Amino acid sequence: MSDSEFRPIIGLTTYLQQAQTGVWDVRASFLPAIYFEGVELAGGIATLLPPQPVDGDVADRLLDVLDALIITGGPDVLPDNYGQEFHPATNKETPDHRTRDAFELALVHGALRRGLPLLGICRGAQVLNVALGGTLHQHLPDVIGHARHQLGNAVFSTSTVRTEPGSRLASLIGETTEVQCYHHQALDQLGADLVVCARDDEGVIEAVEIPGDNFVLGVQWHPEERLDDLRLFAAVVEAGRNYAKATSMKGKVDA
């Protein structure tokens, strides 16, 4: 099999909350199909990672079998994770919400330690920032005076983002692009090593990355809502392919 035919395993985190399907109304782990369809269309193998307690080496055992990691969208990161009190507009805490936060923060820390390619989507970008010591604006309308980034009722808004010249993101999507947004929170103080690589026309941070060889990128928008544009999914799949190859070569040398 050629390198281009190798399909890396991409882990995607999921929701954990009460959900209805047919006659059932139960606690469930789930993820909209468009996320893993993006991975599959880009040449990866998608596997879902349900939130669970991360005592001991749970996160590392999971990361051992992945070639890349995507932290997906979802509810607000609980503010005590970054040293703030709850804003009235912030999602309230539930045990499942707490479990998801802890699970994803542990996965991010583990991925960064081992150089595993990482893409954060919307909430995922915020989890990345918080994991590295950053903070969030808990309610963006308080900062910019409007709610156009999250219109409500599952209606995505379209924003224009402009990338930073020389950034990894600029090399992937160019100088500017139209994106689908649904967020009432945003990055405030940046976590360690992160740099801004895209903003919207009002200066809101829309993407961050860690410069260097390892693929670490967080975007505030939802690329899965535009599967006619697979550039970000293709990038994380390719990074996973390269990671798997490098890990395989290292294993052969160590043996």
pLDDT at 155 over 50: yes
Separation CA 251–CA 16 (nearest Å)? 35
Domain coordinates in residue numbering, the chain? 9-254
| Across 185-201, average pLDDT | 97
pLDDT of residue 251: 58
Mean pLDDT of the chain: 93
Active-site residue among 104, 206, 224, 238? Answer: 224
* Token pair 């047919």: residue: 22
With beta carbons less than 8 A apart as the criterion, state whether 91 and 43 touch.
Answer: no
Please tell me which residue, 173 or 253, carries the higher pLDDT value: 173
DSSP code of residue 41: H
> Strands 9-13, 45-49: parallel, antiparallel or unpaired by DSSP?
parallel
Question: Which position has the token pair 């749970």?
Answer: 58
197 has catalytic annotation: no
Task: Return the CATH number of the domain spanning residue range 9-254.
Answer: 3.40.50.880
Residue type, 94: T
- Residue 253 above 70 pLDDT? no
Higher pLDDT, 97 or 183: 97
Is the confidence at residue 154, as pLDDT, over 90? Answer: no
* Range 145-174 average pLDDT: 88
pLDDT in tens, 10-28: 999 999 999 999 999 999 9
DSSP, collapsed to helix, strand or coil, labels residue 19 as: strand
Q: Is a pLDDT exceeding 60 seen at residue 96? A: yes
Which of these is catalytic: 122, 184, 206, 209? 122
Catalytic residue among 97, 137, 183, 222: 222
Tell me what pLDDT residue 116 has: 98
pLDDT above 90 as % of the chain: 84
Q: What is the mean pLDDT of residues 94-115?
A: 97
184 is catalytic: no
Active-site residue flag, 225: no
pLDDT tops 60 at residue 199? yes
Q: Is the pLDDT score of 83 beyond 70?
A: yes
| Residue range 159-182: mean pLDDT, rounded | 95
Q: What is the pTM of this model?
A: 0.94
Over residues 209-218, mean pLDDT:
97
d(CA 186, CA 184): 7
